[in-house]
């Protein structure tokens, strides 16, 4: 199966967008080879600023560039881009609702060997809590490409969460990304698996496992975390009566929380959450870490079965 990292797709799309839109400027903080903004930098050196290892300044300067009329993309690792810069993003980007896109790579535990200091498991939670912020988590390289293109044209703050490791390509070239819409990739009646990011591929595999055991599982790609598609989630809560969420993020404040908040308001049903259980990451190979933290197709299927049986 073809694999591509979402950061790779982002970098390529950005370099192409630079041609179409002269208003785009890109900022990085001494990680341009890793975030892939170096592809844009090569084509448009006059519109690329390496801000050095100074993420806070980068975020506030991004706000200034936006006030000055530019469309700004800023990139670093997710842990620094959101964590180090949080209050600046809040007060200088979201509060004034400026046109800054935070495209953060190396999100989640699949950062791997660098370890817990570099593995962001809380970025969705903190970005989602900010008024005026929109949050996007692509399921594969194709969706990352479409989201990047969408964000270049859509005014206002946004957070794009990207990964380090190569992931299976799920979508065809004619894939259309619909912002704000949770896409039903596979329909089912017994349980709905709602996933984002690299867990979408695992959710599809889990649905296959479940099918063998006679459990009909819907699989939904909730790639827009905010604004959240409450309609689709409520409809599947009603239809299936049980939901399992799957995300490469803490179970606190991320997709699982967004789903739980929605069903609590709209159509209460049991929600099982597959994610990082209120723990920091650690060094290890990405695949080993996913297993160690229980982010596997088997864990999704197990939880789905349990919920489908007891609903």
Partner 1 sequence: MATKNELTEKAKNIRRDIIEMLGQAKSGHPGGSLDLAEILSVLYFDVMNYDFGDPQKEDRDYLILSKGHGAPALYAALYEGGLIEEEELATLRRLGSRLQGHPDRKKLPGVEASTGSLGQGFAIAGGIAMAMKVQGKPNRVYAILGDGELDEGIVWEAAMSAAHNHLDHLCAIVDHNGLQIDGANDDVMSLGDIGAKFASFGFEVFHVDGHDIDALKDVFAKAKEVREKPAAIIAETVKGKGVSFMENDPGWHGKPMSDQDFAAAKAELEG
Ligand X SMILES: Cc1ncc(C[n+]2csc(CCOP(=O)(O)OP(=O)(O)O)c2C)c(N)n1
Nearest distance, CB of residue 97 and partner 1, angstroms: 25
Q: Which helix (H) or strand (E) holds 258?
A: helix 255-266
Span 69-108, contacts to ligand X by CB under 6 A: 80, 84
Residue 50 makes contact with ligand X by CB under 6 A? no
What is the DSSP secondary-structure string of 82-140? IIITHHHIIIIIITTT--EEEEEESBSGGG-TT-GGG-BSSHHHHHHTSTT-EEE--SS
SS3 content of the chain, % helix, strand, coil (to 5): 45, 20, 35
Among 285, 298, 309, 311, binds partner 1 (CB under 8 A): 285
- If binding means CB under 8 A, how many residues of this protein chain bind partner 1? 31
The piece of 63-71, 109-117, 125-133, 154-162 that touches partner 1 (CB under 8 A) is 109-117
201 to each of 50, 118, 207, how far by Cα in Å?
34, 24, 10
Residue 59 makes contact with ligand X by CB under 6 A? no
> Which residues lie across from 74 on neighbouring strands?
27, 102
Q: Which does 42 bind (CB under 5 to 8 A by kind): ligand X, partner 1, none?
A: none
Catalytic entry in 55, 122, 230, 248: 55
The piece of 93-101, 114-122, 161-169, 233-241 that touches partner 1 (CB under 8 A) is 114-122
Q: Which does 261 bind (CB under 5 to 8 A by kind): partner 1, ligand X, none?
A: none
Nearest distance, CB of residue 165 and ligand X, angstroms: 17
Interatomic CA distance for residues 138 and 24, integer angstroms: 21
Query: Closest Cα to residue 40, out of 5, 77, 75?
Result: 75
The widest CA-to-CA distance across the chain, in whole angstroms, is: 60
The piece of 4-12, 115-123, 144-152, 297-305 that touches partner 1 (CB under 8 A) is 115-123
What is the DSSP secondary-structure string of 135-153? EE--SSHHHHHHHHHHHHH
> Smaller CB distance to partner 1: residue 102 or 207?
102
Write the interaction track for ligand X spanning residues 186-225; mark x where CB under 6 A is met and - where it is not. ----------------------------------------
Interatomic CA distance for residues 269 and 311, integer angstroms: 8
> Smaller CB distance to ligand X: residue 56 or 154?
56
Residue 53 makes contact with ligand X by CB under 6 A? yes
55 is catalytic: yes
Neighbours of 4 (CB within 10 A): 17
Residue 292 makes contact with partner 1 by CB under 8 A? yes
Nearest distance, CB of residue 82 and partner 1, angstroms: 12
> Smaller CB distance to partner 1: residue 60 or 234?
60
Among 4, 43, 47, 54, binds partner 1 (CB under 8 A): 54
Q: Tokens for 195?
A: 């996933």
Query: Closest Cα to residue 295, out of 273, 267, 262?
Result: 273
On the CB side of 262, CA atoms within 13 Å amount to: 26
What are the catalytic residues? 55
Q: Where on the chain is the footprint of ligand X (CB under 6 A)? A: 30-31, 53, 80, 84
């Amino acid at each position: 199966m073809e694999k591509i990292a979402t950061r790779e797709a982002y970098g390529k799309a950005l370099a192409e967008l630079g041609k179409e839109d002269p208003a785009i400027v890109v900022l990085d903080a001494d990680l341009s080879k890793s975030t892939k903004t170096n592809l844009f930098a090569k084509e448009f050196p006059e519109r690329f600023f390496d801000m050095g290892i100074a993420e806070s300044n980068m975020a506030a300067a991004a706000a200034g560039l936006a006030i000055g009329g530019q469309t700004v993309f800023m990139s670093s690792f997710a842990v620094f881009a959101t964590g180090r810069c949080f209050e600046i993003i809040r007060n200088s980007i979201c509060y004034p609702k400026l046109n800054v896109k935070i495209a953060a790579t190396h999100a989640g535990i699949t950062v791997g060997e660098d370890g817990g200091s570099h593995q962001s498991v809380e970025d969705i939670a903190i970005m989602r809590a900010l008024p005026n912020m929109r949050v996007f988590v692509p399921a594969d390289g194709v969706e990352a490409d479409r989201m990047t293109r969408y964000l270049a044209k859509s005014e206002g703050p946004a957070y794009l969460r990207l990964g380090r490791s190569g992931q299976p390509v799920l979508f065809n070239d004619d894939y259309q990304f619909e912002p704000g819409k949770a896409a039903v990739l596979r329909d089912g009646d017994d349980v709905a698996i709602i996933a984002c990011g690299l867990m979408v591929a695992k959710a599809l595999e889990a649905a296959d496992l479940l099918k063998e055991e006679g459990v009909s599982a819907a699989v939904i790609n909730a790639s827009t975390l905010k604004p959240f598609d409450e309609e689709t989630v409520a409809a599947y809560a009603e239809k299936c009566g049980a939901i399992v969420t799957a995300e490469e993020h803490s179970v606190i404040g991320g997709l699982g929380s967004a789903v739980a908040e929605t069903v609590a308001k709209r159509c209460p049903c049991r929600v099982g959450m597959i994610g990082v259980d209120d723990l920091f990451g650690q060094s290890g190979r990405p695949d080993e870490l996913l297993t160690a933290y229980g982010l596997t197709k088997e864990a999704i299927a197990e939880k789905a079965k349990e919920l489908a049986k007891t609903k």
